């Protein structure tokens, strides 16, 4: 149920009777229900363009407004607001519908093929803190769209192709490490170490760099030995990464891995085709696409290289091929990329080239949901004490350890096993929530102390609110699942809570559109707070009349279900006891 949307449409309908112009009324949930449950907030602005007083415009709107059962009353308040009161019997009927719906009444869409490109770590390197945002924000989007009935294709575009593999193979051979690798005796940490050393050698040793390039060619030509080494490198890396995904409660699995290597066979054809279509030209052996849409520092069209002089392909070439594949083979209707903001220009260029070459139609929905960085308290990028990037696994372990310490002080009597389990859930949830609750488009300051905190807009607060409601429900002798008694909404806190519960669909739709998990966090925080207000004002287990008890139990149960579903969309687990 999207009440805000209904109100907007009704007001728009009334405005369309008054003028041909297309006005966009701004509808808001109010903070104080004395001024209605909802408000039209931009009446002054609209009335200005009519050249009449807001109150006079209100009178006109009311003349044409189709006031149905949903509306209790509508009035005007100075200086220029329309206050809308929702009928509580109508609210009660809507709650009834969602109470018996396993999807909380949220309708399914006719399915679209939507690609969510997220996480995308690189091979032979451990995931670091820079991968967190893409991984968890992208996962929220995948879960949201899937819940709405879409066919979501999770795409983990891992960095598993390129010249670095020639260097790695050359180095593993040089250090006689191939057997160790094939016998699973090298860890990802070892590989990262080897990667650094091999790169240094490549830069300083000419013979070695020649060898490396030979291995690149061999690998590209499908040499069996090189291929099996490459496969092992990918396997060791991703094996560790899947552990991280599991720990993070992220839904990425093996079958979602569609790395750069997926498109390797397309690259040469793409370059030839771009040349044939006169989109790319060859200059001193390098193949370049010049784009008038982008200017370089000297004001000339910017060149995007798609093939180097040594015949190697680039990150852009792969992304062009990948987009072609996503449209032709995966029949994408919408492609959403979760990559940090520094790659925005790269994506725009790739999209333009793919359109120019007719690989994708003009109307394919392409979105870059970029995000800012995590900063430390001194507003610098979040790093280890010695200035290195923080490994994601170390970061997660630190969160779990901090949660464990907190649990030990609050619940020292729990068994060791329970403490570990709880610490895992609380620690990971807290990290995820701390990130997801920030507007993704900006940088944010990460603060350990604020994160694992039972107060404020944090995961523990919401999780605790959920367990508290569940324990209230447990105390009741009434079987809640089949309750026939309709919800009775009398007290303001009951009505506010009911409206908040019904707002859930609007929030989900907003995320599906914009990929902004923070609106869900804000919503869950408000829902939990509204429940607290309700709990303070209304007795749930000990009411004078049994029907009031039943009604309030039902409202509580709906709150708990909504909290749980909301957390689930965020990829955050609930716990039974805290």
User: Residue 336, Cβ neighbours under 10 Å: how many?
Assistant: 22
Contact pattern for ligand ARG over residues 73 through 112, marking x by CB under 6 A = ----------------------------------------
Q: What is the dihedral of CA 402, 404, 407, 413, to 10 degrees?
A: -150
Distance CA 228, CA 272 (A): 29
Residues 245-274 that bind ligand ARG (CB under 6 A): none
CB of 571 to ligand ARG, least distance (A): 20
Contact between 304 and ligand ARG (CB under 6 A)?
A: no
Q: Give yes or no for a contact between 392 and 188, defined as CB atoms under 8 angstroms apart.
A: no
Residue whose CB is less far from ligand ARG, 27 or 353: 353
Residues in the interface with ligand ARG (CB under 6 A) total 9
Residue whose CB is less far from ligand ARG, 157 or 438: 157
Residue whose CB is less far from ligand ARG, 162 or 303: 162
Contact pattern for ligand ARG over residues 140 through 179, marking x by CB under 6 A = -----------------x-x--------------------
Distance CA 114, CA 512 (A): 11
Burial class (CB within 10 angstroms; exposed 0-12, middle 13-18, buried 19+) of 52? middle
Residues 309-328 that bind ligand ARG (CB under 6 A): 319, 322
Q: Give yes or no for a contact between 508 and 517, defined as CB atoms under 8 angstroms apart.
A: no
Sole binder of ligand ARG in the list 129, 304, 306, 339 (CB under 6 A): 339
Distance CA 472, CA 476 (A): 7
Residue whose CB is less far from ligand ARG, 324 or 550: 324
From the list 88-96, 99-107, 117-125, 387-395, the region that binds ligand ARG by CB under 6 A is 117-125
DSSP state of 63: H
CB of 203 to ligand ARG, least distance (A): 21
Residue 556's closest CA among 521, 530, 523, 524?
530
User: Residue 312, Cβ neighbours under 10 Å: how many?
Assistant: 17
Residue whose CB is less far from ligand ARG, 350 or 524: 350
Contact between 54 and ligand ARG (CB under 6 A)?
A: no
Sole binder of ligand ARG in the list 122, 164, 249, 425 (CB under 6 A): 122
Residue 37's closest CA among 496, 544, 563, 505?
496
Residue nearest to ligand ARG (CB): 120
Q: Give yes or no for a contact between 460 and 452, defined as CB atoms under 8 angstroms apart.
A: yes
From the list 115-123, 243-251, 373-381, 452-460, the region that binds ligand ARG by CB under 6 A is 115-123
What would the two tokens of residue 340 be? 């940090």
Q: Give yes or no for a contact between 160 and 124, defined as CB atoms under 8 angstroms apart.
A: no
From the list 116-124, 282-290, 294-302, 325-333, the region that binds ligand ARG by CB under 6 A is 116-124
What three-state secondary structure class fits 294? strand
Contact pattern for ligand ARG over residues 554 through 573, marking x by CB under 6 A = --------------------
Residue 360's closest CA among 110, 111, 161, 115?
115
What would the two tokens of residue 373 be? 């960085």
Sole binder of ligand ARG in the list 106, 120, 132, 236 (CB under 6 A): 120
User: Residue 109, Cβ neighbours under 10 Å: how many?
Assistant: 12
CB of 260 to ligand ARG, least distance (A): 8
Residue whose CB is less far from ligand ARG, 347 or 527: 347
Contact between 117 and ligand ARG (CB under 6 A)?
A: yes
Angle at 421 between CA 416 and CA 426, to 5 degrees: 120
Residue whose CB is less far from ligand ARG, 125 or 550: 125
Q: Which residue ranges make up the site for ligand ARG (CB under 6 A)?
A: 117, 120, 122, 157, 159, 319, 322, 337, 339
């Amino acid at each position: 149920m999207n009440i805000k949307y209904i109100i907007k449409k009704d007001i728009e309908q009334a405005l369309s009777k008054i003028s041909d112009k297309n006005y966009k009324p701004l509808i808001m949930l109010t903070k104080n229900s004395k001024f209605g449950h909802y408000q039209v907030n931009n009446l002054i602005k609209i009335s200005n363009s009519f050249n009449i007083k807001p109150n006079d415009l209100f009178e006109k709107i009311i003349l044409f407004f189709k006031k149905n059962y949903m509306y209790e009353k509508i009035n005007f308040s100075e200086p220029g607001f329309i206050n809308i009161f929702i009928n509580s019997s109508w609210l009660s009927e809507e709650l009834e519908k969602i109470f018996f719906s396993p999807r909380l009444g949220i309708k399914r869409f006719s399915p679209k093929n939507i690609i969510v490109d997220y996480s995308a770590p690189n091979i032979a390197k451990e995931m670091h803190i820079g991968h967190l945002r893409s991984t968890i924000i992208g996962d929220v989007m995948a879960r949201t769209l899937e819940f709405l009935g879409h066919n979501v294709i999770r795409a983990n575009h891992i960095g598993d192709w390129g010249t670095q593999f020639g260097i790695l193979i050359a180095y593993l051979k040089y250090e006689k490490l191939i057997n160790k690798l094939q016998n699973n005796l090298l860890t990802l940490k070892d590989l990262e170490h080897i990667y650094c050393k091999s790169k240094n050698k490549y830069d300083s040793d000419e013979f070695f760099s020649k060898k490396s390039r030979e291995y690149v060619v061999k690998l590209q030509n499908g040499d069996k030995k090189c291929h099996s080494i490459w496969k092992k490198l990918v396997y060791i890396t991703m094996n560790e990464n899947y552990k991280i995904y599991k720990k993070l409660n992220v839904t990425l699995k093996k079958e979602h891995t569609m790395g750069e290597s997926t498109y390797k066979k397309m690259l040469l054809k793409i370059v030839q085709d771009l040349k044939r279509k006169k989109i790319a030209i060859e200059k001193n052996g390098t193949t370049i696409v010049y784009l008038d849409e982008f200017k370089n520092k000297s004001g000339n069209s910017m060149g995007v290289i798609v093939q180097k002089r040594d015949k190697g392909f680039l990150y852009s070439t792969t992304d062009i091929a990948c987009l072609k594949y996503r449209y032709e083979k995966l029949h994408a209707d919408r492609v959403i990329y979760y990559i940090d903001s520094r790659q925005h220009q790269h994506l725009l260029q790739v999209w333009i080239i793919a359109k120019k070459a007719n690989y994708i139609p003009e109307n394919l929905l392409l979105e870059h949901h970029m995000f800012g960085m995590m900063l430390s308290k001194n507003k610098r990028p979040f790093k280890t004490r010695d200035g290195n990037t923080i490994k994601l696994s170390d970061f997660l372990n630190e969160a779990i350890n901090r949660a464990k310490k907190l649990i030990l002080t609050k619940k020292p009597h729990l068994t060791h096993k329970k403490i570990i389990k709880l610490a895992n859930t609380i620690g990971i949830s807290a990290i995820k929530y701390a990130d997801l609750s920030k507007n993704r488009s900006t940088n944010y300051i990460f603060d350990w102390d604020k994160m694992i905190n039972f107060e404020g807009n944090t995961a523990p607060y919401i999780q605790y609110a959920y367990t508290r409601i569940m324990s209230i429900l447990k105390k009741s002798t009434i079987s809640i699942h089949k309750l026939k008694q309709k919800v009775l909404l009398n007290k303001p806190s009951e009505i506010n809570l009911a409206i908040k519960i019904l707002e859930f669909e609007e929030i989900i739709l907003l995320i599906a559109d914009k990929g902004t998990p923070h609106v869900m966090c804000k919503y869950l925080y408000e829902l939990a707070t509204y429940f607290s207000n309700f709990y303070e004002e209304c007795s749930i287990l000990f009411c004078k009349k049994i029907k009031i008890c039943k009604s309030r139990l039902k409202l509580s149960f709906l709150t708990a279900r909504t909290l749980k579903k909301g957390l689930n969309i965020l990829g955050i687990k609930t716990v039974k006891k805290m």
